[in-house]
Amino acid sequence: MVIAKVKAHHKLLGTFVTNAKLELTLLVTLQVLCYEDNRLLKLFSDIVKLLYNGDLVGEDTIQHWHKKGSHPKGRNVFLKDMEPFIKWLEEAEEEDDEEDE
């Protein structure tokens, strides 16, 4: 249900999230909301992937959040949950770099 709501409000979110700083704010706010509501806790990475695939949050912002931009609330839980996606982003970036050479 939450995923469907994020999809439904994708364009609306896009009007407010217009730069990397706002992308990071969105991720941190999402992290806090998911931490405070157990029903959302396990959906965090799915929501982030949806935001990424919808071009609302960029690769660089997600990697920055992962390295040093995350909120203390539930940091370890969310960082661990995001590891496979972060690894995928890094591998995709390496492949792009190899193709550019």
Whether residue 101 has pLDDT greater than 70:
no
pTM of the full structure: 0.87
Tell me the C-alpha distance between 81 and 41, whole Å: 10
How far is the first Cα of the chain from the last one, in angstroms, to the nearest whole number? 43
Q: What is the 3-state secondary structure (H, E, C) of the chain?
A: CHHHHHHHCHHHHHHHCCCHHHHHHHHHHHHHHHHHCHHHHCCHHHHHHHHHHCCCCCHHHHHHHHHHHCCCCCHHHHHHHHHHHHHHHHHHHHHHHHHHC
Tell me the C-alpha distance between 64 and 21, whole Å: 11
pLDDT tens by residue, 59-74? 999 999 999 988 898 8
Tell me the C-alpha distance between 55 and 52, whole Å: 5
pLDDT tens by residue, 3-55? 898 889 888 999 999 999 999 999 999 999 999 998 899 999 999 999 999 99
